[in-house]
Amino acid sequence: MSLSTAISRFTGYYQRNGIGSTARRLGLAIKRVLFANRMVVFYRDIPSQHSPTAELPSSVVVERKRNQSEISAEDLHQITSFWNPMLAQRNMNERFGLGASLWFIKSDGNLAGYGWTLQGRTVEPHYFPLGQNDVQFLDFHVFPKYRGRAIDWVLIDQIVSELAAEGCKRAYGESAEWNKASLSSFAMTSFRRLGSAKKLTICGRTIVWWAKEQSAEQKHEAKKALVAMGGKQRRAQDPGQ
Ligand SMILES: CC(C)(COP(=O)(O)OP(=O)(O)OC[C@H]1O[C@@H](n2cnc3c(N)ncnc32)[C@H](O)[C@@H]1OP(=O)(O)O)[C@@H](O)C(=O)NCCC(=O)NCCS
């Protein structure tokens, strides 16, 4: 995130929420930077033919928008006003400019959520280059009233079947490691965890640090070692035991 974006987000948040909430939000941001600063990268292969896993009820529709003129004023207001309108509009211009698609999921005519896809490239420097038939899934959002109903999963599933018909081969997505709702939603879909990483872009060059992933067996052994160490420490503190 650039410095100007960070400042704009900070001032926007302060104007909307006041000093108390802004201080708490800042504390949370610092905690995340210090203790949960990696992104979990997910991927899934897209079969040449993919029918949606679940048939949509007649009240639910998925719509694809390829430019801003296809979006109604009401929907545009909804997706730009809950966050930082200026940055949201800037992101939208940038993404449509790169050829991205914006997908809406609507329930009874109301916008329940949305997400972006971009083929063959990424909006920001990525962890690795994408192939021509690879697609980045980014910035998925379900409005609070509709959360916890697998709307994100339904939207992703519908998108994948449309992208399959267009010859896309692999999809990538990512989630901050602190974002439990997003990780949980990814776990429901056919996306698989590729790894977790940090990246930094300086003077047009991107440096990526991949975390060493532990197998389930390694995690179990590490846990056993920690428990054993805890036992030894307790005995050392209380030799009479
Ligand atoms: C991440 C997100 C898209 C998931 O959408 P969703 O359709 O609610 O997904 P699910 O129904 O699969 O729920 C996923 C998790 O959300 C949480 N959740 C459930 N009900 C919820 C509610 N009413 N309100 C908030 N979170 C809820 C739970 O942790 C749930 O996981 P669990 O079922 O294993 O407990 C949505 O929470 C969201 O828009 N979050 C804010 C934006 C964001 O973080 N986007 C992802 C990063 S790009």
Q: What is the DSSP track for 197-227?
A: EEEEEETTEEEEEEPPPPPHHHHHHHHHHHH
Q: Does residue 63 carry a pLDDT above 70?
A: yes
The pLDDT value recorded for residue 239 is 44
- What is the number of structural domains in the chain? 2
Q: What is the value of pTM for the model shown?
A: 0.82
Shared-domain flag, residues 128 and 172: yes
**pLDDT above 70 coverage of the chain, percent:** 89
Measuring from atom 20 of ligand 1, which residue has the nearest CA? 148
Q: How far apart are CA 54 and CA 154, in angstroms?
A: 7
Shared-domain flag, residues 65 and 94: yes
Q: Does residue 230 carry a pLDDT above 70?
A: no
Alpha carbon distances (Å) from 14 to 6, 9, 25: 12, 9, 10
Measuring from atom 13 of ligand 1, which residue has the nearest CA? 148
Q: Does residue 231 carry a pLDDT above 70?
A: no
The pLDDT value recorded for residue 218 is 66
For the CA of 182, the closest atom of ligand 1 is: 1
Shared-domain flag, residues 124 and 215: yes
Measuring from atom 33 of ligand 1, which residue has the nearest CA? 148
Residue 51: what are its φ and ψ, rounded to 5°? -90, 145
Q: Does residue 11 carry a pLDDT above 90?
A: no
- Residue 52 corresponds to which tokens in the numbers above? 């949606």
- Assess if residue 241 is contained within a domain: no
Residue 150 beta carbon below 6 angstroms from any ligand 1 atom: yes
Domain with 63, as residue range(s), is: 38-236
Shared-domain flag, residues 98 and 137: yes
> pLDDT confidence of 235, banded at 50, 70, 90?
low
- Assess if residue 107 is contained within a domain: yes
Q: What share of the chain is helix, strand, coil (3-state, %, to 5)?
A: 45, 25, 30
- Residue 107 corresponds to which tokens in the numbers above? 């329930």
For the CA of 142, the closest atom of ligand 1 is: 39
Per-residue pLDDT tens for 166-218?
999 999 999 999 999 999 999 999 999 999 999 999 888 999 999 987 677 76
**Dihedral of CA 69/149/123/172: which sign?**
negative
Shared-domain flag, residues 23 and 142: no
CA 29 to chain centre: 16
Shared-domain flag, residues 83 and 166: yes
